[in-house]
Structure 1
Amino acid sequence: MLHFIQKFFQASSKMLKYPFRVGLGASRRTQTLSLKTCLQQNFSPVFLRPWPFSSFLVCMSKTQYYHTSPCTFKKQPVLPARPPKTIMYLPDSPKPAIYVSLAGLIPFFAPPLIMVMAETYIPALAFTQMAYGASFLSFLGGIRWGFALPEGSPAKSDFLNLASSTAPVVFSWLAFLISERLSEAIVTVIIGLGIALHTELFLLPHYPNWFKALRIVGTLVAFLSFVITLLLKDIYPEKGPKRPGQVE
């Protein structure tokens, strides 16, 4: 045992006195072996390595590749805030526009409301509802035409804007043309309202956001009122005066 201890001190003194040089040339960098290296070289035949502890260290070193400290996580870039949906701009509408729009919805939901209260399906009221919806389609086409004509308007007076304004008018004309079949005429008005809303929101997005919000609300109310009228035709019996031009 004393022999190995003397050998260890001799080796460590030699390594400290004559450092091992790494590399050649102008750098001449030196590197001194540590005390741990000397112990491993001189006492490895005498002392057995603690294999269980070393295997545990190896396992811990491997798990470092799979588990990362929270401090090393990269900061995620801050995304810009999403713009609010179109319907959220409804409170920004001018009060006169809100009041006039609400008053303009009365002819849509008044006929089915009266039929529900009377528990009868009245064709004359359904016809007036369809006629108002067709007139409303013509009004929407006039809005697009008038919006594109002034100078400096974001909507140019090109073929796309002016021709698209005639699409609601065509559906309005078709609805009156087939008014003898009232259910088909109501469906035609519903299709025209949907196409007009899709065009104004996605194909020609030049209207103010508050006006788009009003258009969404108005279209939804008109759509629901027409659907209720079609359902009441099958639920309640048909009574009351006939609508104008109805064939017996």
Structure 2
Amino acid sequence: MLYRTTAARSVLRAVSSSNASVARSSLVNPVFKAQLTSSARHAVRPSVKSSFALAAHKPVTTALVRHSSSSSKDGEDVDMMAGMKSEAKVIKDTFSLAEVPKEALYLGMAGVIPYLATSLETVYLSYEINRAAALGDGLIFSGQSAELMLHMLEPVQVGYGAVILSFLGAVHWGLEWAGYGGKFGYKRYAAGVIAPAVAWPTLLFPTEYALITQFLAFTFLYYNDARAAAVGRAPHWYGMYRFVLTFVVGASIVATLIGREQIQQTVTTEHTITDKVKALLFLQKKEKEEADARRKAEIEEAE
């Protein structure tokens, strides 16, 4: 009896101490709780029994819960921050242009400015045309002025896109002449030939079809350039460099198409290549008829 009472008091002192370790608390609690319960069953009144058991059990449970929740929370925060930092570093390294030569980076970024500018101007002029159609006048330009400026921008954007596509194809000719990664012959020359062969016919297409075709051509050339960089036929930084530039150009084309879609029913369409060909054939037919009529008149006069 004396031994059990002494052991119970030792348990209370151990579990009430805030500096006691969780491991010792978890070990002491189940061992002495049975002794405490057995002793209280014979010698302690019922009211004292319940309060005594609660006092012995609650501090240990609370300490365990607090330590477990705080330690796991701290561990999760540490792991989460480490994971986020690692992912941010991976993203930064993936899209890094640090290895791109500065001259190529600056000139490449400057090269997409005309494309981006014409795209933004197209979106703004589309807004002016819609405003003029709805309210009778535009914000800065009249509806007719905005439409005329829009038609002036169309060949600029399409023509500049054709120039850039041709230039991107010519890069592979330069790599072949330099022997970068080895000699590949016609396989590498083909990229330089296909690019202008696709780009320049777009000058004859209606604007929307020309922009869509150039968007697909830019995407295909990016895939080809990224693959060439991956297998060593181009500098290793060339793939990411081309991705950034292609993204700007592609976004510009999409913005232009969206802007033109908003005025599809408002602006007067230009003459398509089909209309121009029909007009040319009609003019030739008319000139031939006039020439035949003159010859016939001359014959009649001679007779």
| TM > 0.5 fold call | yes
Which protein is bigger by CA-based radius of gyration?
A: 1
Is it true that 1:193 corresponds to 2:200 in the alignment? no
- Partners of 2:227 and 2:239 within 8 A in 1: no
- Partners of 2:229 and 2:238 within 8 A in 1: no
TM-superposition CA deviations, 1:31-64 (whole Å, max 9, x none): xxxxxxxxxxxxxxxxxxxxxxxxxxxxxxxxxx
User: Cα offset for 1:204?
Assistant: 6.2
TM-superposition CA deviations, 1:100-142 (whole Å, max 9, x none): 1111011111012123334246132132111111111100111
The one-letter amino acid paired with 1:169 is: P
TM-superposition CA deviations, 1:59-112 (whole Å, max 9, x none): xxxxxxxxxxxxxxxxxxxxxxxxx68843412212211211111011111012
> What SS is found at the alignment partner of 1:92?
coil
- Partners of 1:127 and 1:243 within 8 A in 2: no
User: Cα offset for 1:173?
Assistant: 2.4
- Partners of 2:120 and 2:255 within 8 A in 1: no
Q: Within 1, Cα distance between the matches of 2:152 and 2:197?
A: 23
Specify every segment of 5 or more residues in structure 1 that has no aligned partner in the other structure, as ranges: 1-83
| Aligned residue runs from structure 1 range 92-241, under 5 A | 92-118=99-125, 119=127, 120=129, 122-151=150-179, 153-176=180-203, 178-179=204-205, 181-202=206-227, 205=230, 206-236=233-263, 237-238=266-267
| Aligned residue runs from structure 1 range 54-73, under 5 A | none
User: Cα offset for 1:244?
Assistant: 11
Structure number with the bigger relative contact order (C-alpha 8 A, sep ≥ 6) is 1
Higher helix share: 2
Q: Within 2, Cα distance between the matches of 1:203 and 1:189?
A: 21
> What SS is found at the alignment partner of 1:165?
helix
- Partners of 1:137 and 1:193 within 8 A in 2: yes
> What is the TM-score when the length of structure 1 is the normalising length?
0.57
Quick one: percent identity of the two aligned structures? 24
CA 1:107–1:219 in 2, change beyond 3 Å: closer, same or farther?
same
The one-letter amino acid paired with 2:101 is: P
> What is the TM-score when the length of structure 2 is the normalising length?
0.47
